[in-house]
A = this chain, B = another copy of it.
Amino acid sequence: MKEEAARDAWQRMRALTHRPETLEGLRDAFERMGLTPGIAKALMKLSATEPTPMRNLAATMRCDNSYVTAVVDALEERGIARREAHPTDRRIKVIVLTDEGVTLWAQVQELVGTPPSSFAALSKSETAQLRDLLEKLCPEEAVPAGAYR
């Protein structure tokens, strides 16, 4: 039955992406880069090129504005980003990544984008098949910049 296959697939997908090893490996890598999980998470939600209004980061992170204040404070202390004035609306502050921030951003994206070693179990054509199926399940526009945690 289709329903049953879908449930099985979904559960394995969840198991794979939620594996403690995966999560802990990520956390350890962040630690080696000098990033706390909170900072790394925020960094993943930012664009490396587009200045992001604080408000937008709050929406993406699904948290309160007041928390974004604390997060951006940490980002600035760490030298990853800085606040800048919005060109037309002086109420708004935008977050801009520093050069170091851009470098770290790329490292983090690389890290979270790397599939677990069990992908070696798939042949080239199986991997392509899997990608095609997942593309149907999750079309391009639906992929957020960083889907961590």
Contact with B along A109-149 (1 / 0, CB 8 A): 00011111011011010111111011111100011100111
Q: What's the dominant secondary structure at chain A's contact region?
A: helix
CB-CB under 8 A for A12 and B121, given A2-B127, A7-B113: no
- Contact, CB under 8 Å: B138 / A133: no
Query: Please, how many residues of chain A have a CB less than 8 angstroms from a CB on the other chain?
Result: 47
Contact in complex: B147, A11 (CB < 8 Å): yes
CB < 8 Å neighbour of A15 from B11, B19, B118, B147: B147
Q: How far is the CA of A119 from the CA of B1 in the complex (A)?
A: 14
Asked if residues A15 and B121 are in contact (CB atoms below 8 Å), the reply is no
In the complex, whether A85 has a CB less than 8 A from a CB of chain B is no
Check if B136 sits within 8 Å of A126, measured CB to CB: yes
**A133:B122 contact, CB within 8 angstroms:** yes
Nearest opposing residue in chain B for A60, CB measure: B20
Contact A115 B7 (CB under 8 A): yes
Q: Can you give 21 contacting A-B residue pairs, CB < 8 Å?
A: A2-B124, A2-B128, A5-B130, A8-B131, A9-B115, A9-B119, A9-B127, A12-B134, A12-B135, A14-B17, A15-B147, A16-B137, A17-B18, A20-B62, A119-B137, A122-B133, A122-B137, A126-B133, A126-B136, A129-B129, A129-B133
